[in-house]
Amino acid sequence: MTGSATVVAGPARPAAPSRRAIVALAVAGWVLLLVVARVWGLALPAEPDLHLDAIPFYGRWDPVATWRLAAPVAVGAAAVLALPALIARWPWRRGLGAVAATAVAWSLVLAAVDGAGGFADIGNQYGRHIGLVDERGGPAAFLGTYVEHQDAVPVHLQAHPPGLVLTLWASARVGLSGPGWETALAMAGVAAAAVAALVVARDVVSDRFARAAAPFVVLAPAAVWHTNADVVFGGLALTGVALVVLATGRDARSRWLLAGAGGAVFGLSLLFSYGVALLAVPIAAVALWRRRPGVLAVAAAVSAVVVALPLLWGFWWLDGLATTRVQYYAGVGADRPYEYFLLANLAVFALAVGPATAAGLARLRDRRAWLVVGSGLTVVLLADLSGLSSAETERIWQPFMPLALLAGGALASSRQGARRWLTPQVAVAVVLQAALRSPW
């Protein structure tokens, strides 16, 4: 007689959520963050005036229908169709050239929707104040009295070191000035930031990931705000980051040269913006992960020397930062509620990097990719918690956006997949450009 065994099944395990469901939840969270920031912002008291008529954005909602919108639609559509294939096929350096050219073209056609006003921000906020250098007795005297006179200069000069004003003053002395020159500086920053982020991704993660991420770094809604000074700061700082990261993966012959060059460029960027100091986080993360503390030390030492050089003429970076903090809280910073902007800043950042970044973060699995993207997001969180970024983060956080945009590389399982996610990125940018009137 043959017996038969009875198999008793245990309780069924709940099925793990599918990748598609996780991505859908991430995009839904992205939408919810924007809605909550808008609704909460509208519920804030009318007084004091937050100077945010398009809360949580700076500017005002004023939808316009103009033939100029045809250009960003055409350029965006062409880039969605062509850029993934070009980046996949072309040699790396030529691909970086295509990235830089597309990033500049995309930024310019978006800015042109506003006509000449789309290119006026650097001139309005910095260029028209270069006469202060001569009024103070030249660049040496300007540096020596910069902190002392912080309360008597326009708000953008209060909030930044004197690097950009002195650069514009010096370039004007050799005949380079006006909106054309200022836009060229901004576009150089746009191109440099995109290239630097991809160089970091390729060196730390892989060539394949960097190529997959490239179109997402370029075709972001953040490009709507690409004609302001913060893209110049970002281009400088991220170039320094990329050089130091490259140094951590090189042999001894080139390691120290790259570390010194990266430290010098990063130090120079600190003389243009206080906030880009936070980009030391991805440098440290990669250097320590690769066990290259020596590279980190050399880069830090060279940066410190560059930052300290203006002391010869009386400007000390830390004094400037402390005075900037005082001026910020003596002005609009005191009126903008910290708790609200902890959330609203992140909502603005989320819209600037677009829904594809939210989806990419949900699908990102590579630990090396998380090292880069995660350190970039850490920078954003630190900036948010600092309380020195209450609104206007669509502009202020431009230097941090390219590292977050690399998350899009997780979406490009095929060219069709990349295009499917690039399309909403372009659409959000075009709608923003059509609906929001902003000085930058």
How confident is the model over 196-209, as pLDDT tens digits? 999 999 999 999 99
Q: Tell which residue, 416, 282, 417, has the closest CA to residue 360.
A: 417
Q: DSSP string covering 335-355, please?
A: TS-HHHHHHHHHHHHHHHH-H
**Is the pTM above the cut of 0.95?**
no
Q: DSSP string covering 12-38, please?
A: PPPPPPPHHHHHHHHHHHHHHHHHHHH
Model pLDDT, residue 16: 52
Model pLDDT, residue 3: 46
How confident is the model over 13-60, as pLDDT tens digits? 544 567 889 999 999 999 999 999 999 999 999 888 888 899 999 999
Model pLDDT, residue 2: 45
Model pLDDT, residue 282: 98
Helix (H, G, I), strand (E, B) or coil at 57: strand
Question: Are the beta carbons of 51 and 332 closer than 8 angstroms?
Answer: yes
Model pLDDT, residue 13: 52
Q: Which residues of the chain have pLDDT under 50?
A: 1-10, 12, 14-15
Cα separation, 59 vs 351, in Å, equals 15
Ranges of H-type helices in 4-135: 19-42, 70-89, 92-111, 121-125, 131-135
Cα separation, 21 vs 51, in Å, equals 39
Q: What is the largest CA-CA distance in the chain?
A: 111
Model pLDDT, residue 377: 98
Domain boundaries, the chain: 72-105+120-431
Residue 257 tokens, joined: 């040269």
Model pLDDT, residue 4: 45
Backbone angles phi, psi at 404, to 5 degrees: -70, -35
